[in-house]
Structure 1
């Protein structure tokens, strides 16, 4: 298991990525995602693309490929439970990639995003939430204000 110091460092990198496209992702929030393999090496990075798609997890998982298996995903916002486009949700993609652990800064309050943690835990993925939450909140306050139930 990766130690707390490394968790903070990897989440810091995910937050850096999220900030790069902040304000450029349309109605979607700007999310950062880092995939770290089972040996602790970064094998994938992604941020929500300009315009809102693809999502950060999708980009990072595509970059990581098979190296994601047994690894950890560091995500700035809860991986979505479902997608409005009908594509596989980020939580489903993480499960399919056989990620063993997800470390996330903040819970999603959007009706389609919320519930991703539940999906991951039900699939046996270890989920840690709240890491660097105070740093992530400014990225999502406006999104939550206009897209929450």
Structure 2
């Protein structure tokens, strides 16, 4: 009976413990210089990596997650210090429908900026899981603005 209860407790603890993959923020650096859609560290692309996917899932409203899924033109992931920069946009419409995702893996921080230009409407939206986008370095904020022509 003691063996069964020990086995049951072990299984319960394994199921309740967070997976190591879900907390593997430093593994995101493997995409530097590679496209986000590449399968670099296993079978999943960058935005589907458990840590980043979970953070974006909590951070973004459903409509923005759907927008992000439609942005399938990408540039290689860039690194500035410990910060990873991901650029995505809509095919044949990059300056008017784009996103920039900034990830600081060492601090588990994520920011996602969206820009949309439609007839009679311009929209810029930023989301951050810990800090306002103004905490981003000025050069990254300028880079985002430059990508949509401002």
Q: Please give the TM-score of this superposition, normalised by the length of structure 2.
A: 0.29
More strand by share: 2
Structure with the larger RCO, 1 or 2 (CA within 8 Å, 6+ apart): 1
Q: Please give the TM-score of this superposition, normalised by the length of structure 1.
A: 0.29
